[in-house]
Amino acid sequence: MKAIFYEAFGDPDNLQYGEQPDPKIGPDSVLVDVRASSVNPVDWKITAGYLDGALHTYFPAIPGWDVAGVVVEPGPSVTEFQAGDEVIGYVRMDTVGLGTFAEKVAAPVRALARKPRNVSWAEAGTMPLTGLTAYQSLRAVGVGKGDVVLIHNGAGGVGTYAIQIAKAWGARVIATSSEKNHDFLRSLGAEPLAYGEGLAGRLAELVPDGVDAIVDFVGGEDWVATVDQLKAPGRIASVADVEVKDRGGLYIFVRPNPADLLALTELVEAEKVKPIIAGIFRLERAAEAFRSNMDGHAPGKIAITVGDAS
């Protein structure tokens, strides 16, 4: 099969496009004919070696954790899916090596749910990691109807999902971004705030009584500056800064969860959540897709299309 792979840690120039062995199908996995994936910051951080202390890498390594595609063959013990089913998945293993930037992937059923019927392959490929991160972060801090939630980095891949999910759950959403993205945030239903110096004052002016929950998708000083405006301590989660635990909050590292992924699919099918595409690249142009994600200028997600992804 054709795949993107790398033989040593490094920058996107290390990525190669070529033949790799077809994956083997375990008893509780399915072979997926990949139609799309997407680039997440964790992908280029892993290929650069930043997570080598936490995840062992087997070279040559295929990057990628997101997948959208068609089941070709179920493993012998699989009853959840059959050949021809269209699925999405967050295919994270405890090691790095057999990723989703390939024509085929063997995906465990614990990582999969059915693909939404009303989105393209490219849109579906952006959903799993970022959608689940947003969903699990909001749930961790108990966001619900009537809450005021502050989302740091609302225009990013995770933030765009978090805004829409929180709105679907009945919350009032305030989101930080650069000023150039404020109209975009309003289009998603959020009240925008410029990040950076003076953020705490701007937040206090907008919500004098404080916020019910905070979710941070960027790290840095902004979430720290806004902690004191929580109505109740502890309802804060970060995916970017483990020091949030020292403030009584939660550090979130997204987990594969088929029930959560199915809930996300249902929100998309109900047109309460829409995947936001910042750009689409073919598999062989993955290095360009990595660089585009690293630049981080456009809101939404970078999709990777594979094979017949029309």
Q: What is the pLDDT of residues 26-49, one digit of tens each?
A: 999 999 999 999 999 999 999 999
* pLDDT given at position 231: 96
Q: Of 123, 135, 128, which is closest to residue 105 (Cα–Cα)?
A: 128
Q: Can you give the pLDDT at residue 137?
A: 98
Listed by start position, the domains of the chain span: 2-127+275-305, 130-251
- Please identify every stretch of the chain with a pLDDT value under 50, giving residue numbers as ranges: none
Q: What pLDDT is recorded for position 71?
A: 98
> How would you class 36 by CB atoms within 10 Å of its CB: exposed for 0-12, middle for 13-18, buried for 19 or more?
buried
**pLDDT for res 245:** 97
Which CATH number fits the domain 2-127+275-305, given the four candidates 3.55.40.20, 3.20.20.10, 3.30.200.20, 3.90.180.10? 3.90.180.10
Give the pLDDT of residue 277: 95
Instruction: Say what the pLDDT of residue 310 is.
Output: 58
Report the distance separating Cα 129 and Cα 300, nearest Å: 13
CA distances from 94 to 65, 105, 137, 154 (A): 11, 16, 21, 29
pTM score: 0.96
Q: What is the pLDDT of residue 34?
A: 98
Quote the CATH superfamily of domain 130-251: NAD(P)-binding Rossmann-like Domain (3.40.50.720)
Q: What is the pLDDT of residues 156-192, one digit of tens each?
A: 999 999 999 999 999 999 999 999 999 999 999 999 9
Q: Are 305 and 123 in contact (CB under 8 A)?
A: no
Determine which helix (DSSP H) or strand (DSSP E) holds 138, and give its type and residue range.
helix 128-140
pLDDT at 309: 72
